[in-house]
Structure 1
């Protein structure tokens, strides 16, 4: 942010925005830190750590869930938390069956303090009600997180509008209980301020017909209208004639659904927000009546909001340029990264065409260690300590007890593994649509 200020002093016509993925994760972690939700998360972590810490319990769990893991590694720590809670809710019946089975009764771990605590957690209806509540509160924000991190289409025109929808969904999920939802709204507003409600985001929100044409009251929002005036003033400094033409002539044509914007095909073309709808393409098709505003809209609405794509590219460089392979020429290194990165893109696109792909899933378990390893120590998000180097800081971020979920040899007592043949089942990736029903049943 300091570098952004210096850059803006040199080039005052540019805009700086925070990474939406990072900001949304901060919101989710803030909500997860509230006592009501932190308690459920801690109970869930204690349960999964106990199961994964012992060879016997791990084998039993995989037997009853038909080889499906309950911990699911995500691209961030909170993505792992949400996906794991979702997985626990999906496997509720199998876990209850496991902890009430003869195998569990005969297992010596069932008489230990941690074993009894795990049993109490699984059979406790209040715990499962809490899991369902967490998912109902977290799911709307995770939905936006999926959108900004999916790389399917430019998302800047949707971030602000979707967060407004998230607030209402959370309020509804908590039964309009002000005492319950007010701390969550405070966290969202605090993390959002100056990051996802900038002039650029508000201008994109107004110029996205999906929101404006569904709710024309948006044009009466002072913050939104002021944002587009500030935006025009920033990109066309000193050109008051052009600024007035855009704000006083072309903008009212768009907001009033006049001229080519009044066509039924234009109005119908922005009613549904799906993978095919791109507001920038909509402006190219129907914005000829307002050429200057169309130029602005297509430029803004073609922007992304997340730096995840860059970070994935850096990760690819890390995998190719290692300590044992550090003499690669720059051109060869770039070519190897180009091939590997684009091969991954092609694979992801292929998966999207065949089935829904969970964009929050990661290939390694580095962000899910606290769910499978007890007392896993990870440094807090932030800048590296000045007393240590950047490389050492990054190494400390990964626990020395790092484990992958598919490891078979966990450190544990010698115990006989269950060897019954079981049929494999795929693990679902969609948000559990039955969360609401589950909550009602538990009530």
Structure 2
């Protein structure tokens, strides 16, 4: 296979099983022509595995047009959901104000992929609805959706959405016990925001929320243009500054593990915190610089080889900070951490990889019978008996 794919592997390991499945499907579809060429080549005909039940099952799968149609359909359906998860996992801006709106956009994209055939898309939407219930559709999420001008000002139908208003009313009753205060926000300040009055009517304010790019942050938008509604502005900034994932905390813990090791475990608490702070933010700046340079959303790239985030590997190449607070360019985390601790943590550190990381350098010809892990009797039941009869 690596001969026909130019030594590229198919399986793409990811931090989660979901990411691994998506990346592997992307990679598999990218190598569709190469895999077909492999199974139609003379090398496959002379291969010992071509006469086995599993070999014949693999041949029938790769040559089956319906299989490739299914792979393409899975990728198209997963793609909008991956976009949402990638946004939640990202570091460049808080996601609370976008999670509900992006899920609604993902649902619309899935419907379009399935040509708005309710029989096809309804089972998928039922799964999404079950997972969202009481997790991504709470009063807090709906309030954040309402207060994000990117959605509220670009979709005129939201003004008449009573579910959003009801969610906002319930949310206010949770954070304010004063009924007069609640009434002032609902009757005075909310209409100003809803109808684009006073400072919200400025052309600059309306243009600033037209596009959801890296520069747009709804919390900053409220800070700049929400002076006409001080109470609503305070609520909006607090809500829209929230994250919806613990990924940032987990990355900080990973940095802590890299700094506080068995060999460097006598650091004072204050110095340790400072080292972790500098290390984490230095890596964050490097990551954001690379992301802006590429100018692509990695998990939505057309080529599977561009999907580098969420890939898992060791620490190699990450600069650490020494105890004096300065970087040690020549020393990497993999050198600072002893072999045992590195081996224990290998497979839990996301880093960016190149295509060469999935290439086998030393390839040997398959000259011996290969022992495969058993997957039960399913292959033999489906293919073995019928193929033996054909032979």
Q: CA deviation at 1:336?
A: 5.0
2:243 maps to what in 1? Answer: 304
* 1:203–1:231 CA contact under 8 A, matched in 2: yes
* 2:92–2:288 CA contact under 8 A, matched in 1: no
Q: CA deviation at 1:115?
A: 1.8
Q: CA deviation at 1:102?
A: 2.6
Aligned residues: 320
Matching of residues 22-41 of structure 1 within 5 Å: none
Unaligned 5+ runs, structure 1: 1-59, 366-394, 399-403, 417-443
* 1:157–1:301 CA contact under 8 A, matched in 2: yes
CA distance in 2, matches of 1:330, 1:305: 29
2:220 maps to what in 1? Answer: 281
After superposition, what is the alpha-carbon deviation per residue over 1:202-237, rounded to whole angstroms, capped at 9, x for unaligned? 111001111111223213222211121122222222
- State whether structure 2 residue 303 is matched by structure 1 residue 363: no
After superposition, what is the alpha-carbon deviation per residue over 1:350-377, rounded to whole angstroms, capped at 9, x for unaligned? 3113213636422339xxxxxxxxxxxx
* 1:174–1:180 CA contact under 8 A, matched in 2: yes
* 1:202–1:224 CA contact under 8 A, matched in 2: yes
1:208 maps to what in 2? Answer: 148
1:266 maps to what in 2? Answer: 205
Distance 1:408 1:207, change over 3 A: same
Q: CA deviation at 1:280?
A: 1.3
Q: CA deviation at 1:88?
A: 1.1
2:43 maps to what in 1? Answer: 103
TM-score after normalising by structure 1: 0.66
CA distance in 2, matches of 1:411, 1:311: 40
- State whether structure 2 residue 197 is matched by structure 1 residue 252: no
2:164 equivalent among 200, 224, 227: 224
* 1:206–1:212 CA contact under 8 A, matched in 2: yes
After superposition, what is the alpha-carbon deviation per residue over 1:344-401, rounded to whole angstroms, capped at 9, x for unaligned? 3233123113213636422339xxxxxxxxxxxxxxxxxxxxxxxxxxxxx9xx9xxx
* 2:14–2:20 CA contact under 8 A, matched in 1: yes
CA distance in 2, matches of 1:291, 1:328: 45
Distance 1:143 1:357, change over 3 A: closer
Distance 1:128 1:173, change over 3 A: same
Distance 1:282 1:86, change over 3 A: same
CA distance in 2, matches of 1:407, 1:322: 32
For 1:72, what is the secondary structure of its paired residue?
coil
- State whether structure 2 residue 25 is matched by structure 1 residue 77: no
1:125 equivalent among 65, 69, 78: 65
Distance 1:294 1:334, change over 3 A: closer
After superposition, what is the alpha-carbon deviation per residue over 1:144-198, rounded to whole angstroms, capped at 9, x for unaligned? 1111111121111111111111112111211222221111111111111111111
Higher relative contact order by CA 8 Å / sep ≥ 6: 1 or 2? 1
1:316 equivalent among 234, 255, 275: 255
Matching of residues 80-229 of structure 1 within 5 Å: 80-229=20-169
Mean alpha-carbon deviation: is it higher for 227-236 or for 80-89?
Answer: 227-236
Distance 1:221 1:412, change over 3 A: farther
TM-score after normalising by structure 2: 0.74
For 2:312, what is the secondary structure of its paired residue?
coil
Q: CA deviation at 1:91?
A: 1.6
CA distance in 1, matches of 2:147, 2:198: 16
- State whether structure 2 residue 290 is matched by structure 1 residue 351: yes
For 1:189, what is the secondary structure of its paired residue?
helix
* 2:7–2:360 CA contact under 8 A, matched in 1: no
* 2:144–2:236 CA contact under 8 A, matched in 1: yes
* 1:283–1:297 CA contact under 8 A, matched in 2: yes
Q: CA deviation at 1:139?
A: 0.9
CA distance in 2, matches of 1:289, 1:116: 71
2:383 maps to what in 1? Answer: none
For the pair shown, the structure with the greater C-alpha radius of gyration is 2
CA distance in 1, matches of 2:198, 2:265: 61
Q: CA deviation at 1:107?
A: 2.2
* 1:202–1:228 CA contact under 8 A, matched in 2: yes
